[in-house]
Amino acid sequence: MKLSGAEILVECLKREGVDTIFGYPGGAVLQIYDAIFKQDHFKHFLVRHEQGALHAASGYARASGKCGVALVTSGPGATNAVTGLADALADSTPIVCFSGQVPSGLIGNDAFQEADVVGITRSATKHNFLVKRVEDLALIIRQAFHIATTGRPGPVLVDIPKDISINICEFEWPEAVNMRSYQPVTSGHPGQIKKAVKKMLSAQRPVIYSGGGIMNASGSAVLLRELSHALNAPVTNTLMGLGGVPYDDSHFLGMLGMHGTYEANMAVSHCDLLVAVGARFDDRVTGKLEAFAPDATVIHIDVDPSSISKNVHAHLPIVGDVKIVLGQLLEEIARKNGQPDEAALALWWEQVAEWRAVDSLHFEQPERGTIKPQTVIRQVHALTEGDAIVVTDVGQHQMWAAQHYGFRKPNRFLTSGGLGTMGYGLPAGLGAQIAMPDERVVIFTGDASIQMCIQELATMYQYKLPVVIIILNNAYMGMVRQWQEMFYESRYSHSYFDALPDFVKLAEAFGGVGMRVDKVADLDATLKAAFEVDGERFVLVDVAVSREENVYPMVPAGAALNEMVLS
């Protein structure tokens, strides 16, 4: 079968099982867009900015567990995509991004809309390719999907010069991908598993700390919970790991780190065994490194060897897919009929109960007057029964969503953790809604963040996506303001807007439904109304919240986890 490069791309996407791609056309990808026009294997969603395409692909991937796919044109199309690639790299999100490139013969000539995209995206991707011959295209696409979705997932970019998309060759589908230079480890070393179980069963004060790795290894959350119950060990989640354990599970301590709960941070600071599962000891998690889990033996399970002993020394590393390794650990515990040290654990749980009693997420919501942002999140939890796919932007609202929503399942909290990308929310939310049309998607955003990718409201309108967007409007870049209050003597340098748009009118102008609420008394009714809109339009609720509320508890940057500021 003789096909053009563009047709090969379409054929490969079909064979990879792709049903959705997010993109934006331009000169260098016109051949590809023409091939897309003529096919009906997958649906193309037209975003309004290439950053949106990448974040939408991310939301799609993280909600569904599938690989996200994006298509952008050369030059500015590709440079606009860079933030989305870097974001996906930091949060280990599987995405394959195709970019058009100027014709091969013009590369290096400063041609119109030429950019060294492979160069620019090298450190923003897990890997990238420049296609040099149409004959190589199918194999490269196959490898791109393989690399994006296996091992520690991440974004892969395939740069396709225009002539490659036009050139014709015999299409051959490579059945298997076998790369001698890329062979991710899947199962944990049996010797390490045995040693780990021994340490786990003899621990007096264990803590399990799990991260985004649980989201990427479908089916691992159940095993994580089993392990924590088998060991009778408390579990804390990172921001990216929320939903790894149900929020109301008896063993759950909440999130740890800078805005984590008191009990989680104290437990980590005092534990004698820390089992890290698919987490990478980010500085927002550890605080001051020297004081992080000072008494703990560290077992670190991760698919990426370079994450192990990078920031915190792992006494017992286990490289492997977290789902497989968790299975191996449970098997070994069962084989030994292993029982944890219940006498010691009883004391440990007593201690944990004392820390829990501090109730570090407590806040006061006056019955009248201004709405506390935390109240909004809790209310939405109640209205959605803790079952929504919650997407956020970046800032205080993001932390409040993490602290107060209460997640039941994995892959339901989509947030930009590693890169902290304002603008992530709207496009990621629409991607998630496309992936999960029958699920409720709620986007919590801020008055500043929403303006970074606000153009994606048009995409929501075009595809009739019934996303509910909630602005926790404090008329501040709240998180910046909080730091300025705490560390710069309240000099609020450029952390507010003198001119905020009328978000209700804006929503309407984009074809959605806009609502505003500024009194607690009206909050419930407004939110209910928002959730009852026809299911064909997006709804934007502009919630005026108490302006100078701070996110607590907080570990100031550089402080130790047990040096939390509670209020």
Q: And the tokens for 489?
A: 């003597």
Among 27, 174, 184, 420, binds ligand TPP (CB under 6 A): 420
- Give the integer Cα–Cα distance in Å for 506 and 454: 10
- Residue 56 · residue 118 · CB < 8 Å: no
Q: How far is CA 506 from CA 244, 431, 471, in A?
A: 36, 21, 13
**328 or 474: CB nearest Mg ion:** 474
Separation between Cα atoms, residue 189 and residue 333, nearest integer Å: 15
Q: What's 425-463 look like in SS3?
A: HHHHHHHHHHHCCCCCEEEEEECCHHHHCCCHHHHHHHC
CB of 425 to ligand TPP, least distance (A): 9
| Position 82 contacts ligand TPP (CB under 6 A) | no
Q: Which residue has the tokens 């607590």?
A: 552
Residue 72 interacting with ligand TPP (CB under 6 A) = no
Q: Does residue 74 interact with ligand TPP by CB under 6 A?
A: no
27 belongs to the binding site for ligand TPP (CB under 6 A): no
Binding of residue 405 to ligand TPP (CB under 6 A): no
478 binds ligand TPP (CB under 6 A): yes
Q: Which does 127 bind (CB under 5 to 8 A by kind): ligand TPP, Mg ion, other proteins, none?
A: other proteins
**Residue 20 belongs to what H/E stretch?**
strand 20-23
Least separation in angstroms between CB 289 and other proteins: 12
By CB under 6 A, residue 90 contacts ligand TPP: no
Instruction: Point out which residues bind other proteins (CB under 8 A).
Output: 118-119, 122-123, 126-127, 130, 132, 147, 179-182, 304-306, 308-310
- For residues 124 and 266, which CB has a smaller minimum distance to ligand TPP in the complex? 124
- Rule CB under 5 A: which residues touch Mg ion? 446-447, 474, 476, 478
We find the least distance from the C-beta atom of residue 150 to other proteins, in angstroms, to be 11
Of residues 343-402, which lie at the interface with ligand TPP (CB under 6 A)?
A: 393-397
Q: How crowded is the C-beta side of 363, counted as CA atoms within 13 Å?
A: 21
Question: What is the spatial distance between Cα 559 and Cα 368, in angstroms, rounded to a whole number?
Answer: 37
Q: Which of 328, 360, 375, 474 binds ligand TPP (CB under 6 A)?
A: 474
Q: Give the residue with the Cβ less far from other proteins, 30 or 139.
A: 139
* Most distant CA pair in the chain, distance: 73
Q: How far is the CB of 95 from other proteins (least distance, A)?
A: 16
Which region, judged by CB under 6 A, interacts with ligand TPP, from 42-50, 288-296, 417-425, 458-466? 417-425
57 binds, among ligand TPP, Mg ion, other proteins, none (CB under 5 to 8 A by kind): none
Structure tokens given for 231? 């060991």
Which residue's CB is nearer to other proteins, number 2 or number 180? 180
Supply the minimum distance, in Å, between the C-beta of residue 305 and other proteins: 5
Q: How many CA atoms lie within 13 A of 255 on its CB side?
A: 30
* Shortest Cβ 448–ligand TPP spacing (Å): 3
> Under the criterion CB under 6 A, does residue 54 sit at the interface with ligand TPP?
no
Q: Hey, what's the torsion of the CAs at 532, 533, 536, 537, to 10 degrees? A: -130
CB of 312 to other proteins, least distance (A): 11
Catalytic amino acids?
Answer: 50, 112-113, 162, 479
Which residues make Cβ contacts (< 8 Å) with residue 362, sequence separation at least 6?
none
Bridge pairing between strands 235-237 and 252-255: parallel
162 contributes a contact to ligand TPP by CB under 6 A: no
Taking phi over 0 as left and psi of -120 to 50 as alpha, with beta for the rest, 402 belongs to alpha
* Cα(311)–Cα(305) distance, integer angstroms: 12
Which of other proteins, ligand TPP, Mg ion, none does 214 bind, CB closer than 5 to 8 A by kind?
A: none
